[in-house]
């Protein structure tokens, strides 16, 4: 993968992971399993490690949670709400404590006390008290900005409107001891600080979750108690929240004008004394072995607890040590979540169905004989992809081991009847939704539908992309409106958008549509009758053709008829070389890819793009969609108008943070000045534009004696061009 492809893949991953974060954290309607989500994150992290200079500001490795929902007011956190690093084995916990020792330079005989408590599977919430009175409640959001849910939180009986000052005894480890006041951090335990943010989890018990779903039968039911709690709290109407059985358990704090103790355990016990619920399973331990022993106790009682938990959280008890340890990008160094292993059960695989995702991915789903795993009745499990089916050797009728790890979508981990005589199950070669070819690209595990714009399963996502800001940018055609028009049968492909005017009178008769809103929408559509060709090509959603690749292709091939001709030539090239196949498949594929890349003849555009174009145009219905669209719109030829400048013909590299423009805007400026833009610095580089945070590229440019300017210097170059 070259740098351009990596940049586009990272952009895709950032958008896709953000979408799944929104579905999980904001919409409470996850589409994929934890394993699939983790695979996306791992791919993102691996690419960032390979191309560190391409790390984006919106990288999933830098962000926590998801942006606040639009229907709730945004509120900034006075102190960021971080996530936690995970431990999956005892050795991970021991290494965590060892890291703390090394960081603090502690002698071997100095004990490291920890607190240990269950990790509740709920919705993180921060409660701000001023003069002891609740003034603000906010969800975590993206960790920096959350959602204001104050009216909703006021309906939760567990959460006091006013904190009470009282003396309390510590609990949680079977011992009772008078809580000691802080020796260095201010007020005694009997006082409530002037400002204090209590943080914890809003949750719904398992029994209340089951009762709620039974009550909601026929409507939208919730997948699990966590989603039920999140969906119930984040309502527009607080009376809906009031009708839902929500609880709250505190586990930490944010901004505080003073602290009632100098230990984690002491502050939490003060919070308990002020009238806020805290788990009775919170303990203070003096060693790793004691912490792991408590983990075993909680694990043993997990199924009998009234609420879902997915692990145990350990925190360094001394607050001065916490302050010294600090945090990394999105997690504190002084805490870690020790996750529980997956729960397992045996059942029979009855059949395998194929689901087509919004991006065309074909996912096999196992339909199972119902079985209870961790208190949840499971009838479906993800099989991920064709490789996973081959690895497990599963077929309908097999007896399988099912695993569920705090995840609503379980997975099959073992086939107990692999040796039984049964016909193998074969992955379909055509999309079950539209019958288009289902293909698997070289080096990828996923099989995808090539139907694109005509596939019913992908239609909404493809249309949403087509009208998005980065593509056609048609104002007024948001996802909700597209869903409405799809449901009415008014649109099914991009060309239908340009024919919406014939539904004007029908649209005026629908709720929420008036003369002005209808006319504004139709005017916005008409304004895109001669769209920018790069945006149009990008908007078609052809795999591997992002905005940069679309520009590179059109710079070489100028217009849409030439792009179609290129695709036809690649189709013919593939057929011709395949017919003459006389060598080992891997060598043939390498030779074919080289031939396709050479035929395209565009720098940084490789065989993957060529195959994607060929796959798209191989489907007759895609050709129909393409032709239908071009009958409605007239994109101009793509001519790169360049101005004479001091950098004409030179190679430029942009590095660091650009503060007055995006990286794409800067590249467009360079191309307009007749320059070339490269992603790495070499002896062929003529100019480096370095913004704040420039690292290895700037250093290499200085070593090679290459001219370097800052963003202001680049602006002067642009302004001086004729």
Residues designated as active site:
119
Distance of alpha carbon 118 from alpha carbon 280, whole angstroms: 10
All residues at 6 or more sequence positions from 243 whose CB lies less than 8 Å from its CB, including other chains: none
Between strands 335-339 and 86-87, the pairing is parallel
Distance of alpha carbon 409 from alpha carbon 580, whole angstroms: 45
573 exposure class (CB count in 10 Å sphere: 0-12, 13-18, 19+): middle
End-to-end Cα spacing for the chain: 37
Decide: 316 and 306 in contact? Cβ < 8 Å. Answer: no
Decide: 680 and 699 in contact? Cβ < 8 Å. Answer: no
Helix (H) or strand (E) holding 570, with range, is helix 560-579
- β partners of residue 368: 349
All residues at 6 or more sequence positions from 703 whose CB lies less than 8 Å from its CB, including other chains: none
State both tokens at 179.
């809580």
Number of H helices, E strands in the chain: 25, 22
Helices 3-21, 34-50: axis angle to 10 degrees equals: 150
Candidates 394, 396, 427, 425; CA nearest to 412 is: 394
Candidates 663, 692, 693; CA nearest to 7 is: 663
Distance of alpha carbon 537 from alpha carbon 612, whole angstroms: 13
Count CB neighbours of 221 within 10 A.
14
Using H for helix, E for strand and C for coil, what is the string for 104-115?
HCCCCCCCCCEE
All residues at 6 or more sequence positions from 99 whose CB lies less than 8 Å from its CB, including other chains: 333
116: helix, coil or strand?
Answer: strand
Candidates 118, 112, 1, 19; CA nearest to 60 is: 19
Decide: 671 and 680 in contact? Cβ < 8 Å. Answer: no
Supply the DSSP symbol for 192.
Answer: P
Distance of alpha carbon 345 from alpha carbon 142, whole angstroms: 36
Between strands 123-130 and 447-449, the pairing is unpaired
All residues at 6 or more sequence positions from 454 whose CB lies less than 8 Å from its CB, including other chains: 434, 436, 492, 493, 619, 621, 622, 624, 625
Distance of alpha carbon 613 from alpha carbon 566, whole angstroms: 8
129: helix, coil or strand?
Answer: strand
Give 590-599's long-range contacts (Cβ < 8 A, gap of 24+): 593/442, 596/570, 599/569, 599/570, 599/573
Distance of alpha carbon 710 from alpha carbon 714, whole angstroms: 6
Beta-strand ranges (E) seen in 568-661 are 651-655
State both tokens at 69.
């929902």
Distance of alpha carbon 324 from alpha carbon 699, whole angstroms: 32
The 3-state DSSP composition of the chain as helix, strand, coil percent (nearest 5) reads: 40, 20, 40
């Amino acid at each position: 993968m070259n740098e351009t492809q990596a940049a586009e893949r990272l952009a895709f991953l950032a958008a896709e992971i953000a979408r799944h974060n929104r579905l999980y954290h904001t919409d409470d309607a996850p589409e994929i399993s934890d394993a699939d989500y983790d695979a996306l994150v791992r791919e993102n992290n691996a690419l960032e490690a390979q191309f560190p200079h391409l790390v984006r500001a919106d990288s999933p490795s830098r962000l926590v949670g998801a942006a606040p929902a639009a229907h709730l007011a945004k509120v900034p956190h006075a102190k960021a709400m971080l996530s936690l690093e995970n431990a999956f084995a005892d050795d991970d916990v021991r290494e965590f404590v060892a890291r703390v020792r090394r960081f603090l330079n502690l002698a071997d005989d100095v004990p490291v006390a920890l607190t240990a408590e269950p990790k509740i599977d709920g919705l993180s919430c921060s409660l701000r008290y001023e003069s002891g009175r609740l003034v603000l409640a906010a969800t975590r959001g993206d960790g920096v900005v959350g959602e204001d849910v104050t009216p909703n939180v006021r309906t939760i009986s567990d959460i006091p409107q006013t904190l009470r000052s009282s003396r309390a005894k510590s609990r949680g480890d079977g011992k009772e001891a008078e809580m000691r006041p802080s020796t260095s951090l201010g007020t005694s335990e009997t006082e409530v600080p002037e400002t204090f943010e209590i943080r914890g989890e809003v949750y719904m018990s398992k029994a209340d979750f089951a009762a709620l779903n039974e009550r909601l039968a026929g409507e939208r039911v919730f997948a699990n108690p966590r989603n039920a709690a999140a969906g119930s709290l984040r309502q527009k109407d607080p009376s809906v929240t009031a009708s839902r059985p929500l609880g709250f358990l505190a586990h930490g704090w944010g901004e505080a004008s003073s602290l009632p103790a100098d230990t984690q355990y002491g502050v939490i016990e003060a919070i308990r004394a002020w009238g806020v619920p805290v788990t009775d399973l919170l303990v203070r331990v003096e060693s790793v072995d004691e912490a792991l022993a408590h983990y075993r106790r909680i694990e043993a009682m997990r199924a009998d607890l009234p609420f879902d938990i997915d692990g145990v959280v350990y925190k360094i008890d001394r607050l001065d040590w916490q302050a010294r340890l600090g945090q990394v990008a999105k997690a504190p160094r002084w805490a870690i979540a020790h996750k529980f292993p997956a729960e397992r059960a045996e059942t029979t695989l009855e059949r395998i169905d194929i689901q087509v995702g919004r991006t065309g991915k074909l996912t096999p789903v196992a339909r199972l004989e119902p079985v209870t795993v961790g208190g949840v009745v499971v009838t479906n499990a993800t099989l991920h992809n064709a490789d996973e089916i081959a690895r497990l050797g599963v077929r309908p009728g097999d007896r399988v081991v099912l695993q569920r790890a705090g995840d609503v979508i379980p997975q099959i981990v073992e086939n107990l009847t692999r040796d039984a005589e049964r016909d193998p199950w074969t992955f379909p070669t055509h999309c079950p939704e539209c019958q288009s070819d289902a293909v698997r690209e070289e080096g990828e595990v996923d099989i995808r539908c090539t139907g694109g714009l005509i596939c019913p399963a992908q239609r909404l996502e493809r249309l949403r992309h087509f009208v998005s800001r980065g593509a056609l940018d048609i104002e007024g055609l948001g996802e909700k409106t597209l869903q409405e028009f799809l449901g009415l049968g008014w649109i099914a492909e991009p060309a239908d958008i340009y024919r919406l005017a014939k539904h004007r009178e029908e649209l005026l008769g629908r709720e929420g549509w008036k003369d002005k809103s209808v006319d504004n929408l139709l005017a916005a559509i008409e304004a895109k009758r001669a769209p920018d060709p790069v945006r149009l090509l990008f908007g078609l959603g052809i795999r591997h053709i992002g905005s940069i690749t679309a520009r590179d292709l059109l710079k070489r091939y100028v217009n849409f008829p030439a792009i179609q001709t290129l695709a036809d030539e690649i189709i013919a090239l593939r057929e011709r070389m395949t017919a003459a196949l006389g060598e080992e498949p891997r060598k043939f594929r390498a030779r074919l890819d080289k031939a396709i890349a050479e035929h395209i003849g565009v720098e940084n555009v490789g065989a993957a793009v060529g195959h994607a174009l060929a796959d798209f145009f191989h489907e007759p219905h895609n050709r129909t969609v393409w032709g239908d669209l071009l009958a409605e719109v007239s994109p101009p030829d793509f001519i790169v108008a360049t101005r004479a400048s001091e950098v004409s013909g030179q190679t430029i590299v942009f590095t660091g943070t650009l503060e007055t423009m995006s990286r794409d805007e800067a590249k467009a400026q360079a191309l307009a000045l007749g320059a070339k833009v490269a992603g790495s610095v070499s002896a062929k580089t003529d100019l480096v534009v370095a913004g704040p945070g420039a690292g290895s590229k700037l250093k290499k440019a200085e070593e090679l004696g290459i001219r370097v300017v800052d963003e202001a210097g680049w602006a002067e170059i642009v302004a001086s061009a004729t």
